[in-house]
Copies of this chain bind each other. A is one copy, B any other.
Amino acid sequence: MSSNTDIKIFCPATVANVNCGFDALGFALEGIGDEMVFRKTKTLGVTITKITGDTLPMEAHNNVAGVAGNALLEAVGADFGVEMEIHKKIRSGSGIGSSSASAAGAVFGINQLLDTPVSNLELTRLSMKGEALASGNEHADNVAPCIYGGTTLVTGYDPFKVIALPPMDTVYVGILHPHIQIKTKEAREILPEKVPMKDAIAHSQHLASFVASLYEWDKALFADSLKDVLVTPYRKQLIPHFDTIETISKKNGCIAFGISGSGPSMFCLAFSKDNIDSYLSESIDLYKDNGLEVDGYSSKISSEGCRVIE
């Protein structure tokens, strides 16, 4: 598809790790995401013309969207350039894939302007180049669901492979975002270099049974598999009142609760919107009573990733 008119896209927020899938699993959220506008230019490379909603570098080589976009233009040897507007709605550093949405959105949007679009796998691989600018290393657990939509499993990097898992479109999601800052780097450094063998085995069983539960749509197995013995026990200390919020999630009938990405946002899953709403209300009250600023969103798992909206 080639176009001389503006293309406007939506790029969703995403939840990575999802307890049992550290550095592997992620899913796209419904209704929470950024917007980006793309137009072809004669000048080669990416030119960022406008950024709203956040203070981010306008120079393409310092901007995750610019880096990812240029990676795609170079990969296909494009004989044109792209002007890009970035309208951030996802708060930077919130843990729901803000930089990933910019990186994935950039390659997805530019792909719409190519005569021969590249595959979702290649788009995901290229958007990691932008992601690396933000986090210091290339990983795909947020960019993959942002591109593919739904729930994705990154099975490895050599060879690089992403599996689009069966939909979980009857699952409701609550996102709770306490306004504290956690650097991805700090969240990485808090993790031990070695873990008990028995935890490694349990972790593999959890992720494998999560995958099987989606193919079988076995709700009990689904709920049982959404556990994390590897990472959350260390990272939860970075989030105030984590254990209390987890208790609130259980009390309200939610089936899974954990850190979104490297935090500070927490995700919560339930089979009913009522459970999510009452959980969010009680959790927000807890933070406010303790003098902390917080946002809460109710959403669903979106079967769609980045998409053209105009």
Q: Give the interface of A toward B (CB within 8 A).
A: 20-24, 153-156, 159, 161, 163, 165, 191-197, 199-212, 215-216, 221, 224-225, 230
Contacts and interface: CB of A to CB of B under 8 A. Distances in A.
Contact of A211 (B193, B200, B212): B212
Contact of A200 (B200, B210, B212): B200
A197 B192 contact: yes
A191 B197 contact: yes
Contacts of A155: 205-206, 208-209, 212, 221, 224-225
Contacts of A224: 155-156, 159, 161
A163 B204 contact: no
Contacts of A163: 209, 212, 216, 221
B197 A197 contact: no
Interface centre among A204, A210, A215 (most CB of B within 10 A): A204
A153 B212 contact: yes
B199 A156 contact: no
A191 B192 CA distance: 19
A189 to B, nearest CB: 12
Nearest to A230: B200
A230 to B, nearest CB: 6
Contacts of A156: 202, 205-206, 209, 224
A208 B156 CA distance: 11
A3 to B, nearest CB: 34
A208 B153 contact: yes
Nearest to A201: B23
A200 to B, nearest CB: 4
Contacts of A207: 204-205, 207-208
Interface centre among A24, A212, A221 (most CB of B within 10 A): A212
A306 to B, nearest CB: 23
Nearest to A20: B204
A52 to B, nearest CB: 37
